[in-house]
């Protein structure tokens, strides 16, 4: 389970970096490592985490697997990037303009208990985030090894063996396996929804999908809400997660949204659209099949697509019916 934990643990770590700005435009395509592309909002900037603390934290885990290298990136609103960079560069948080404004207001308040104080503080932070249009931020992890390589090198580990097994399934089989995996992840809660991380943290799943894209590459796509209890304070964080592999690299994208989250899922889907475009290609492929060749050849081509994982069982059934009805 080591490589699996690399991604999950690192994706929850907020670390520092040297960074480079990108020009703006919602339709701007961001090229990470010249290997994978995402579509970023106009107000977002791109950061590569490459400071000493980041490298040391990553190396503690990558040392467990020979030759493994992981790079960590951040895409987020410029105001959030500026705030994080100021802290990284050594600014005393007590001198930060946002923190100072909150503390100035707090001096005039009389809180009856710690719970009231905490709730008020969270409310003030969210007000600032709304004002500065800090909607969501995305953490991207890039490994120099593919999921397949990681699984083979950790052979015998339960998660590694599971990934190897998933790699050999078509989308119809993956659909059934996804249901079982979700059931196992939520076993402690017993509701097929909640993953109990610890006594203070729970993730409530909404969407959870494991499938293959049009190139036969395995991916995991999920969204939901993390509930984080800090003493008397409860924080709700909307999450989106996407894990895949491409060009012999494994990638993890985790986005978190705290305010103005009504369109969060659609924004995330748009961001990763350059990576995953299964439906478009499948539609074109099945359309070409149904418009050419004799019946036997058309059915054979559809079967090959289904067996390769390019078509789900439902897509295969619909396309087959279309061919037979002609």
- What's the whole-model pTM score? 0.73
pLDDT tens-digit profile of 106-158? 999 999 998 899 899 999 999 999 999 888 999 888 888 888 787 777 666 77
Residue 47 confidence (pLDDT) above 80:
no
Residue 191 confidence (pLDDT) above 50:
yes
Range with lowest mean pLDDT among 176-185, 190-199, 294-303 = 294-303
pLDDT tens-digit profile of 157-182? 777 788 889 989 999 999 999 999 99
Gap between the Cα atoms of 194 and 22, Å rounded: 37
| Residue-range domain boundaries for the chain | 2-276, 279-325
Residue 229 confidence (pLDDT) above 60:
yes
The alpha helices in the chain, defined as continuous H runs, are 2-11, 52-62, 78-88, 97-106, 114-131, 147-153, 158-167, 171-185, 264-272, 278-290, 295-308, 313-325
Quick one: fold of 2-276?
Protein Transport Mog1p; Chain A (3.40.1000)
299 neighbors 286 (Cβ within 8 angstroms) = no
Highest mean pLDDT among 39-53, 86-100, 221-235 belongs to 221-235
């Amino acid at each position: 389970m080591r490589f699996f934990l690399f991604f999950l643990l690192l994706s929850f770590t907020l670390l520092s970096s040297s960074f480079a700005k990108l020009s703006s435009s919602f339709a701007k395509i961001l090229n990470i490592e010249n290997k994978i592309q995402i579509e970023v909002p106009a107000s977002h900037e791109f950061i590569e985490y490459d400071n000493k603390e980041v490298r040391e934290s990553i190396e503690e885990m990558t040392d467990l697997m020979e030759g493994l290298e992981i790079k960590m990136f951040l895409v987020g609103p410029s105001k959030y990037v500026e705030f994080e960079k100021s802290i990284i560069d050594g600014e005393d948080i007590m001198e930060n303009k946002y923190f100072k404004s909150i503390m100035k207001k707090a001096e005039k308040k009389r809180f009856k208990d710690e719970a009231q104080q905490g709730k008020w503080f969270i409310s003030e932070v969210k007000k600032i985030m709304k004002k500065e249009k800090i909607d969501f931020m995305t953490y991207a992890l890039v490994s120099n090894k593919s999921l397949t390589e990681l699984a083979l090198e950790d052979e015998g580990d339960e998660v590694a063996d599971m990934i190897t097994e998933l790699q050999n399934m078509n989308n119809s089989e993956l659909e059934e396996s996804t249901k079982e995996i979700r059931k196992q992840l939520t076993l402690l809660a017993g509701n097929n929804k909640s993953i109990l991380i610890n006594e203070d943290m729970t993730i409530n799943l909404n969407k959870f999908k494991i499938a293959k894209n049009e190139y036969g590459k395995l991916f995991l796509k999920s969204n939901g809400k993390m509930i984080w209890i800090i003493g008397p304070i409860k924080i709700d964080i909307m999450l989106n997660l996407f894990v895949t592999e491409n060009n012999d690299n494994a990638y993890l994208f985790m986005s978190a949204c705290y305010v103005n989250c009504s369109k969060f899922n659609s924004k995330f889907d748009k961001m990763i659209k350059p990576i995953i475009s299964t439906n478009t290609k499948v539609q074109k492929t099945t359309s070409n099949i149904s418009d050419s060749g004799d019946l036997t050849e058309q059915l054979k081509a559809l079967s090959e697509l289904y067996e390769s994982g390019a078509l789900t069982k439902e897509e295969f059934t619909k396309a087959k019916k279309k061919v037979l009805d002609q």
